[in-house]
Amino acid sequence: MTEKLTSRFRAVFLREPEFVARAPGRIEFIGNHTDYNGGSVLGAAIDRSVWVALARRQDGIRRFASETHPGIVELPVSAMDRVVGAQSWVNYPLGVLAAMRASGIATPGGFDYMVASNVPSGAGLSSSAAIELSSCLVFLAAAGTSVPRDQLVALGRKAENEFVGVPCGILDQGVSGYGRVDSLVYIDCRGPRFDTVPLPAGSNFWIFNTHSKHALIDGLYAARHQECMEAARVIGVASLVDATPAMLAAAETKLSRTAFKRARHVIDEIARVEQAVTALRAGDLAAVGKLLVASHRSSRTWFENSTPELDFLVDGLESEKGVYGARLTGGGFGGAVMALTTEAFGEPGVKRISDAYLAKFGSRVEVIHARTGDGAALVTRGR
Ligand code: GLA
């Protein structure tokens, strides 16, 4: 991909890039909507990434190009307003620059910037965190500075929260930043504190991307966030991570039905993440698979962020040989399902699931056999 991006950069800007960085997409393994509630979550960086190339300019102009969006967005260094319309993708790198500046970190002046990606977007694989982290790495390098990894991750999240405007937790940026081949990233979101848990040998990931997306997805995510905060307030804790099942039961009559359901999911889900870590350390993938399915059912029933498409895939996968478990991955309301399987699951199973999906919904599901990957890194450090 570096070669492809570099030649595209040359073709568009008629010069060589000085810096190239890469950051991976991620799978949310288990821990659905636990991150912004202070809980724990497990994710995996995948072997698909967003790549950014950059060369500095001396004239105070910033030019942004993307392999997937036609045209060049040209802005003076002083322009830091959010962009609306077809070129709004530049809000990711602009948001990172704004976050760096607000944190007192040096930012580059003018530059030529190009992004390319093989992370499918809209699949719940966090191409947005990947563009934030890869952009941040080239900006830091171009400004002649660097930051510790936890700060890189925090800058990506700050861009997403404050500039892009999504009140996400630390999962996406944390996993993209701390990913490691053959491992899961464990995040205790209260710190946040990052760790890795080795994946037992023979673990395989399959992603089934429905390409379906609820029209109100951003609003629904924000609404869930609000509902969780309301539940915590009524229960009398700062975050739902501090609530126990007994505390929830005691507060049930004071909670709205909606707030109760959201809290029920989050409290149980945080417990499932911890159980999954124990089962992974014991190499018990069958137990892990059961937790994945329980997580999905809880998202469906209590958090109400599943869809008929995602439910259909999880149900179908559950009865396939070689599948330990499956669940929706990411924010929900559309997007993708991920399955943890043995080597025994392969093309015949994929075809059965895809054909059944096509027959039921009249559209094709995109299937990706994902491998784990390493976290964000600067690939080329300038001339
Ligand atoms: C999205 C958000 C994450 C997390 C998940 C749900 O991916 O970006 O921070 O909240 O949804 O677990």
Domain total of the chain: 2
Q: With a 6 A CB cut-off, is 192 part of the ligand 1 pocket?
A: no
Centre of ligand 1 from the C-alpha of residue 266, in Å: 13
Centre of ligand 1 from the C-alpha of residue 82, in Å: 22
Decide if pLDDT at 92 tops 80: yes
Residues 223 and 185 in one domain: no
Domain that holds residue 243: 204-370
134 close to 49: Cβ distance less than 8 angstroms: yes
Q: With a 6 A CB cut-off, is 47 part of the ligand 1 pocket?
A: no
User: Tens of pLDDT along 55-85?
Assistant: 999 999 999 999 989 999 999 999 999 999 9
Q: With a 6 A CB cut-off, is 172 part of the ligand 1 pocket?
A: yes
Residue 163 DSSP symbol: I
- Closest alpha carbon to 122 in 215, 229, 235, 17: 215
Residues 34 and 102 in one domain: yes
Q: With a 6 A CB cut-off, is 25 part of the ligand 1 pocket?
A: no
pLDDT at res. 213: 77
- 184 beta partners: 197
Measured in degrees and rounded to the nearest 5, phi and psi for residue 51 equal -120, 135
Q: What is the CATH number of the domain that holds 102?
A: 3.30.230.10
Give the residue, by CA position, lying nearest to ligand 1 atom 1: 331
Q: With a 6 A CB cut-off, is 35 part of the ligand 1 pocket?
A: yes
Residues 176 and 119 in one domain: yes
Q: With a 6 A CB cut-off, is 168 part of the ligand 1 pocket?
A: yes
Residues 225 and 275 in one domain: yes
Q: Counting atoms of ligand 1 from 1, which one is nearest the CA of 33?
A: 12
Q: Counting atoms of ligand 1 from 1, which one is nearest the CA of 160?
A: 8
pLDDT at res. 123: 78
Decide if pLDDT at 216 tops 70: no
Cα separation of 293 and 290, whole Å?
5
pLDDT at res. 383: 59
Cα separation of 41 and 26, whole Å?
12
Q: What is the CATH number of the domain that holds 277?
A: 3.30.70.890
- Catalytic sites, residue numbers: 172
Mutate-to-test residue for ligand 1 from 160, 168, 175, 272, highest number of ligand atoms within 8 A of CB:
168
Centre of ligand 1 from the C-alpha of residue 7, in Å: 34
Centre of ligand 1 from the C-alpha of residue 168, in Å: 6
Residues 173 and 258 in one domain: no
294 close to 272: Cβ distance less than 8 angstroms: yes
Residues 275 and 180 in one domain: no
- Closest alpha carbon to 50 in 125, 106, 112: 125
Residues 238 and 324 in one domain: yes
Residues 231 and 82 in one domain: no
CA atoms within 13 A on the CB side of 19: 25
Centre of ligand 1 from the C-alpha of residue 321, in Å: 30
Residues 188 and 246 in one domain: no
Q: With a 6 A CB cut-off, is 160 part of the ligand 1 pocket?
A: no
Residues 32 and 67 in one domain: yes
Residues 115 and 218 in one domain: no
User: Tens of pLDDT along 105-123?
Assistant: 999 999 999 999 999 877 7
Centre of ligand 1 from the C-alpha of residue 32, in Å: 7
Average pLDDT on 244-262 reads 98
Q: Which residues contact 352 (CB under 8 A, 6 or more apart)?
A: 316, 320
Rounded-to-5 percentages of helix, strand, coil across the chain: 45, 25, 30
User: Tens of pLDDT along 149-184?
Assistant: 999 999 999 999 999 988 899 999 999 999 999 999
Q: Counting atoms of ligand 1 from 1, which one is nearest the CA of 34?
A: 12
Please, where are the H alpha helices in the chain? 2-13, 91-102, 127-142, 149-158, 171-178, 217-235, 245-251, 257-281, 285-298, 308-318, 347-361
Residues 154 and 255 in one domain: no
